[in-house]
Amino acid sequence: MANVTRFDPFNDLVDDLFKGFLVRPLAFEGRGDSGTQLPRAKVDVAEKNGAYVVTAELPGVKKEDIHVTIDAAQVTLEAEVKQEKEASKDQRVLHSERVYGTVMRSFTLPQEVDDGKAQAKFENGVLELTLPKKAAAQRKQISIQ
């Protein structure tokens, strides 16, 4: 199921306005396990040599916690950010900005993908997918008898 996100043209304007001042505001897409909002996964899509190249930033995620689903032209990325350390009894958390939970991003490409030839690479918090386009069916003319 595709996520519906409201377009806000002023969001980028506000982000640019606050660049360099304190902490830059983030756009949010999901909710974490503790009810806090998770940052939206940033995705770039390019076209190269008959394939789509998808690059997604997934900081703090382990390779085994990433799931990619391809259904014709729809691609779904799902990643789980896990909390690695619990606070001990004698420790008191004063401030925490790191959130934990599942981030999901789904989008539709202009053409169907050949999922049998798809490749994925994950390094330094960046997922790179190479998704070859499915060959279009050739027209076939049949003779009438």
| Residue 38: partners with Cβ closer than 8 Å, 6 or more residues away | 28, 29, 30, 31, 32, 81, 99, 101, 102, 103
Q: Is pTM, for the whole model, over 0.75?
A: no
Query: Residue for token digits 């049949």?
Result: 142
Residue range 87-132, pLDDT digits in tens: 677 888 787 777 778 888 898 999 899 888 999 999 998 999 999 9
**Is the predicted pLDDT of residue 70 greater than 60, yes or no?**
yes
- Specify the 3-state DSSP secondary structure of 116: helix
- Half-sphere exposure (Cβ direction) of 86: Cα atoms closer than 13 Å: 2
Amino acid code (one letter) for 81: V
Inter-residue contact 67 to 58 (CB < 8 Å): no
Tens digits of residue pLDDT in 4-23: 666 666 665 555 544 444 44
Q: How high is the pLDDT of residue 15?
A: 53
- Tokens describing residue 22: 């304190």
